[in-house]
Amino acid sequence: MKTKQLKVALGASLLSMISLSAFADDAVLKLTQDDNQWTQARKDYSNTGYSKLSQINKGNVRNVKLAWSFATGVNRGHEGAPLVIGDTMYIHTAFPNNVYALDLNENQKIKWSYFPKQDPSVQALLCCDNVNRGLGYGDGKIFLQQNDGTLVALNAETGEKMWDVKVVDTKQGASTTNAPHVFKDKVVTGCAGGEFGVRCYISAYNIKDGSLAWRAYSSGPDSEVLIGANFNKENPHYSALSVYEDVNGGNTEGGSFKALPKDKLKFPESDLGVKTWLKPQAIKNGWEHGGGGTWGWYSYDPKLNLMYYGTGNPGTWNPDVRPGDNKWSMTIFARDLDTGMARWGYQMTPHDEWDYDGMNEIILWDAKGKNLATHFDRNGFAYTFDRTNGTLLVAEKMNKFANWATSVDLKSGVPNKDPKYSTHQDYNAKGICPSALGVKDEQPAAYSPKTGLFYVPLNHVCMTYEPVESKYIAGQPWVGSTLTMFAGPEGVMGGFMAWDALKGKSVWYNKEKFSAWGGVLVTSSDLVFYGTLDRWFKALDAQTGKELWKFQVGSGVVGNAMTYTHKGKQYVGVLSGIGGWAGVAMNLGLQNETDGLGAAGGYKELTKWNAAPGGGTMNVFSL
């Protein structure tokens, strides 16, 4: 072998060894691959919600019974799922975000508990109920992101506080509702507060001591959004200055926007997080209060060292006071985990006019030799990307009732808006589908590598939407719109479907009376579990959608189904306790049609199935 070839071979070998060593040292990754435990919010780094456990299967699921339950002692919406590490289950609650460690070896005896001391006034900042989406685990620590912006690291064995750090400033109206995600040696956490004009960001902290590793804003100059020279290298048109031309005045009543073809786009441009927030604005610089919440679910590819997440709506729901594309709200980002630098970013709903938050989970999967990422957005479209570079492969409607746009141009990535459903200040736009809840909100979907399908809980809700003048005041709500919600054209408010993400179409679809607000679990025995707002916890056949089993719990389900084993026996569990956006008005006793950002009118029938406020309970089932 020639010297040069030898050096190349040795170099490649060394890189391979370094890569394998990096994975070998990733204790968190190893834990996610143990199906006997549930160590991540969505089971694994890829957000699949998939388990290889198969003791409970289609042949015996009809025999599943309630094994035990645990009342959390807290009311309101219980989103997310508990963690199971070894023989301990860690349960979180809605505000005040209590944590319980239950000993599975001693009939769920409480090993330790943690009761945060939070200012009760923080609850006023939580637009869509007092929710918390769960816990993180790594380095022997349980991580809790409190609603008041404090990230806490607790000793997993004793509950002792190891460190804490303040993530957001509640005086500005910011709060935190997301589950902290542990990837390798980082704890990644987010920000909520778009309805308060907060300029949100995502933050990564070092797992050992809580020191800040990096922070990336959702709006502002590239230096603060952490955008560098190689951003969108393969798809520079994602970095266009404007993707629409105004029609009939654009941001005026009767105006709309026409999508520009790719050859008409001006790209690539820098500092789009500033340049795409144009005048007139209700405040000096719109991007400084640009929203872009990051309160959803995050995923991570250790081979690419990229983490993925979505950003929320631009600040204020009144689009007329923020002309322009309003980047980088409504965007899927892929970032280097170590540095936070953005590898690619794609904006799904430029110049959002409907509060179609883009923060839903990104699920990572592989097919036909490609590394893929699929996202089911609030705006009603399901997207599949090449996750290595952001190339858009599929963008199709999850349900034909979505009408704000007719399609998405795959070449440009730009949605073709229907002018009939544009929204403007002091104009009551009617019949917009979906509602601001989206065709799917925070309730996460699941993916089965066995069937190759995604299992998606859906909202089937439309709305009227009237933007109004609203002045920004720090720490005060800055919504700038009123809306009402009502059932979609099928006469129901929800659904559940299996989705082929390469073809961009549903394989089967079931109607639900109310939105299916529970996160999904799918197992290797081709069972799909999820909960409903009218208190059902269900198991379906993953191949056909046929209902095989159901059990009615004490309160509506907005939690995520999960599974684990203990002493060789498989258990399936879910948190109940109605709430979230769908249940917030009911929990607070609000009755005007527009209360709860439209939830009071849209979901008023929930009171026939639920006591309010909903009581939190962990429900665990087995054969």
Q: CATH code at 147?
A: 2.140.10.10
355 given a catalytic annotation: yes
**Is the model more confident about 6 or about 532?**
532
Domain-located, residue 32: no
Domain-located, residue 520: yes
Euclidean distance between CA atoms 81 and 83, whole angstroms: 7
Domain-located, residue 379: yes
Positive or negative, the CA dihedral 353, 354, 360, 366 is negative
Tokens of 196: 């308060």
User: Does the pLDDT of residue 125 top 70, yes or no?
Assistant: yes
Q: How confident is the model at residue 33 (pLDDT cuts 50, 70, 90)?
A: very high
Q: What average pLDDT does this structure show over 290-303?
A: 97
User: Does the pLDDT of residue 37 top 90, yes or no?
Assistant: yes
Which member of 222, 301, 355, 357 is catalytic?
Answer: 355
- Give residue 25's pLDDT: 62
The whole model's pTM is what? 0.95
Q: What average pLDDT does this structure show over 169-183?
A: 97
Domain-located, residue 48: no
User: Does the pLDDT of residue 72 top 70, yes or no?
Assistant: yes
Strand residues in 61-119 grouped as ranges (E):
65-75, 83-85, 88-92, 99-103, 109-114
Report the candidate in 131, 126, 36, 30 with the shortest Cα–Cα distance to residue 89: 36
Residues 260-281 have pLDDT tens digits of: 999 999 999 999 999 999 977 7
Report the candidate in 614, 619, 618, 584 with the shortest Cα–Cα distance to residue 75: 614
Q: Which residues pair with 311 in a beta bridge?
A: none
- Give residue 282's pLDDT: 72
Q: How confident is the model at residue 20 (pLDDT cuts 50, 70, 90)?
A: very low
Domain-located, residue 36: no
Average pLDDT, the chain: 94
Q: What's at 501, amino acid-wise?
A: A
Beta carbons of 395 and 349 less than 8 angstroms apart: no
Beta carbons of 383 and 411 less than 8 angstroms apart: no
Domain that holds residue 465: 3-25+56-622
Residues 490-530 have pLDDT tens digits of: 999 999 999 999 999 999 999 999 999 999 999 999 999 99
Which run of H or E residues covers position 585?
A: helix 580-588
User: Does the pLDDT of residue 12 top 70, yes or no?
Assistant: no
Euclidean distance between CA atoms 510 and 496, whole angstroms: 5
- Give residue 14's pLDDT: 35
In degrees, to the nearest 5, what angle opens at C-alpha 359 toward C-alphas 355 and 364?
A: 145
Domain-located, residue 276: yes
User: What one-character DSSP code corresponds to residue 175?
Assistant: B
Number of domains comprising the chain: 1
Domain-located, residue 49: no
Domain-located, residue 384: yes
Q: How many CB atoms lie within 10 A of CB 411?
A: 10
Q: How confident is the model at residue 18 (pLDDT cuts 50, 70, 90)?
A: very low
